[in-house]
Structure 1
Amino acid sequence: MPSDLSSLLREHVVLMEELDRRRRTNLLAKYRPYTKQIEFHKAGAVYRERLFMAGNQLGKTLAGAAEAAMHLTGRYPDWWQGKRFSKPVVMIAGSESYELTRDGVQRLMVGPPMNEEDWGTGYLPKADIVDYTRRSGVSGALDSVTVRHVSGRVSTLLFKAYEQGRGKWQANTVDYVWFDEEPPEDVYLEGITRTNATGGSVTVTFTPLNGMSAVVQRYILPGEDKGALSRNVTTMTIDDAEHYSPEERQAIIDSYPPHEREARTKGVPTLGSGRIFPVSEESIRIDPFDIPKHWVQIGGLDFGWDHPFAATGCAWDRDADVFYITKVYREREATPIIHAAALKPWGAWLPWSWPHDGLQHDKGSGEQLAAQYRAQGLNLLPERATFDDGTNGVEAGLSDMLQRMQTGRFKVFSTCPQWFEEFRLYHRKDGKVVKEMDDLISASRYALMMKRFAKVKADSAAWKFSERKVI
């Protein structure tokens, strides 16, 4: 009997060791992304260029590695909604230097660089690593990895570094490029060039410590660049990192110098003195609550087509003079009938403030923009947004918003993440407001300017059966 027990114990140990080996050598099968990581992956089905801009240690590089491994192996999980390659791929992945590429990208893809016995414990399953070549001159660094694809053929992963310059990125035509950490503009453009012939994809994962650089601007402030429609940016803050407790989040935030906290915990490019609202996000963010019946409400519209159409729902506590942004809507390249259908559930009684370009006539129908939205059932105010004295200066509106933020009289519901995306990046260049990524901010400004016309929420039945007229 003792010998039988000993044999069973040995078998159990062997079984546990085998299960551990399989777990360690097939990390990809265990990948369970957070909400923001899923958003980043999903965008790949639509956009050719993607930026995952996030704070430090929030999972951006991990997401990049997991997706790269899926494309190289062709092993896509059931939940996958991102881009799929139907054949083996040639991929370039790199970072600032060969040492950083080795310790970041290579470590996550293959395993610990200094311990060859553990190669296969990264996101590339050990069973799918067919071969590799070493890079001379950098201990533990690889030059390439050959990966088995589900088709029976092989994919190729090439490791490169920005320090080589764009010239070293010119030789290959590839299907996929992954930049981990921000590349110089010339290297980034060369990466795009390498995918032109294949119609491939370019992804970038980094914390924006270089401020509003050329690469960041390419995504966030594209101006008249028509190629912007093929780009997408996903921003992940420490609040989106589901593996941290509130106490851990605060400890991490406190560990960084004040001037680096926005970039390192929220993935926000450093804007310095150019930031229009130099107040902390936490000072204006508030958890949602039911709006008291005696508070008045108003909506704000910002018309758009190439740049998004935006709308904000707002409430004003007149007694305390606190203005609240309670809900938001933002969508590009859609018609008034689509936007109106999305906004009418907010309430047919809700008065809407709108900007001067609502007076412009549509090139097709010849009808004013404002009139088109009225025709779709939105209760637009009869006149465009102005202050009490009839003026409508942008700077005056921004000054009012900032003063309210500084004195605790401007709050935004935490359920409005798109509003905070714009808030983090709203800035000036050469003293002038940069009119990019400001659609919800603008809609909020118009609503604040016209708060004198805000109304108490009407009873839906009373509104329906009363004689409805334009305010």
Structure 2
Amino acid sequence: MAANRFGKTECGAAEMAMHLSGRYPAWWRGKRFQQPVRAWAAGITNESTRDVVQAKLIGPPERREAWGTGLIAHECMGETFLAYRVPNALDTVSVKHVSGGFSSLQFKSYERGREKWQGTALEVVWFDEEPPLDIYLEGLTRTNETGGLVYVTFTPLLGHTDVVGRFLGAAHDDRAIVGATIFDAGHFSEAERERIVASYPAHQRDARVKGMPVLGSGHVFPIAEESIRCEPFVIPPHWAQINGLDFGWDHPFGAVNCAWDRDADVFYVCKEYREREATPLVHAAAVKPWGEWIPCAWPHDGLQHDKGSGEELARAYATHGLQMLPERATFEDGTNGVEAGVLEMLER
């Protein structure tokens, strides 16, 4: 998980070439396979897999006479099989392993869907760019019986997704992060780094320059977090407080606690909660400690487990002790457009 233009794909391709061929440098401290492996390498689309992943490993896709000039050495190249309907794209390539025999590498993409990731056991899976959670989990499943390896090379532009959360959450012996910023990239001069940093919008710089995930998927506000963040403090009792709820089941339920300093007309977002596939009882138990007296605003609808209306959900949360407002949240004219709400917050 690293900055843009650091060389993440180059690193991922180099590791894949090592595992396929069994040619490990003396300094390599990672996992080593002593026998030929079965591997998959994937990008977002069939075309991006061809133009990026295949090009790094094999050589220029459009020049077959140059296949073998990538990170997989020409003398290690075995049979190649073309993909269907994607010009110059490879489906499978065999790679000679130092122990004898051949490793097998198949190129995949996320656009084919999770079903295309089911099936065979593998020793190595490489995701170039962040995959959807269901595809990532299928990749893990492919290596369960072999004790194999799954790795991802990406810049976390999608924010704190479920995939990112697996690495930034509780520590686990089977997971690790290797991070790098643009300041670790020796192939850029100081002037080039400054130019690149300045070219990105402020709210994307942490992700693109430092390899740190932005606040959320589909970043809404073009504002750097550090420009609006403050140190924690005790909310004065005379400030108004309100909770905002967003119902969800497949997509996460979300809640925030907010406080309003009327004198300075400053609105603070103080606490947040996010959880998927849990009941109103669970969500209410998480929100009530913020203050059972705090009123809760709620939307007109949401993706509910029972597919009921927003009103029905509001009553369910009220039953579990939240102070739900009597009516759904709207503007003064009765509308509830998202864009209008975002613009109003941005212009305050």
TM-score range for the pair, normalised by the shorter chain length: 0.5 to 0.7
SS in 2 for 1:395: coil
The aligned residue for residue 36 of structure 2 is: 88
Deviations 1:351-375, CA, capped at 9 Å, x for gaps: xxxxxxxxxxxxxxxxxxxxxxxxx
Aligned length, in residue pairs = 235
Deviations 1:338-396, CA, capped at 9 Å, x for gaps: xxxxxxxxxxxxxxxxxxxxxxxxxxxxxxxxxxxxxxxxxxxxxxxxxxxxxxxx933
1:271 aligned residue (215, 226, 229): 215
The aligned residue for residue 239 of structure 1 is: 183
Which runs of 5 or more structure 1 residues have no equivalent in the other structure? 1-52, 281-393, 398-427, 435-471
1:67 and 2:15 aligned: yes
- The within-5 A match list for 1:7-406 is 53-222=1-170, 228-271=172-215, 278-279=225-226, 395-396=232-233
What percentage of aligned pairs have identical amino acids?
A: 50
1:274/1:429 contact within 8 Å kept: no
CA deviation after TM superposition for structure 1 residue 234, in Å: 1.5
Which runs of 5 or more structure 2 residues have no equivalent in the other structure? 235-253, 257-269, 274-348
SS in 1 for 2:68: coil
CA deviation after TM superposition for structure 1 residue 182, in Å: 0.5
CA deviation after TM superposition for structure 1 residue 169, in Å: 0.9
The one-letter amino acid paired with 1:105 is V
CA deviation after TM superposition for structure 1 residue 170, in Å: 0.7
Deviations 1:21-44, CA, capped at 9 Å, x for gaps: xxxxxxxxxxxxxxxxxxxxxxxx
- Structure with the larger helix share: 1
CA deviation after TM superposition for structure 1 residue 266, in Å: 1.1
CA deviation after TM superposition for structure 1 residue 432, in Å: 3.0
| Separation in 1, partners of 2:169, 2:183 | 24
The one-letter amino acid paired with 1:159 is F
| Separation in 2, partners of 1:73, 1:230 | 24
CA deviation after TM superposition for structure 1 residue 429, in Å: 7.5
In the superposition, the TM-score normalised over structure 1's length comes to: 0.47
| Separation in 1, partners of 2:255, 2:189 | 37
CA deviation after TM superposition for structure 1 residue 109, in Å: 0.3
2:203/2:225 contact within 8 Å kept: no
| Separation in 1, partners of 2:85, 2:271 | 49
| Separation in 2, partners of 1:278, 1:110 | 41
| Separation in 2, partners of 1:433, 1:210 | 19
Aligned-residue CA RMSD (Å): 2.4
| Separation in 1, partners of 2:75, 2:174 | 35
SS in 1 for 2:191: helix
1:95/1:162 contact within 8 Å kept: yes
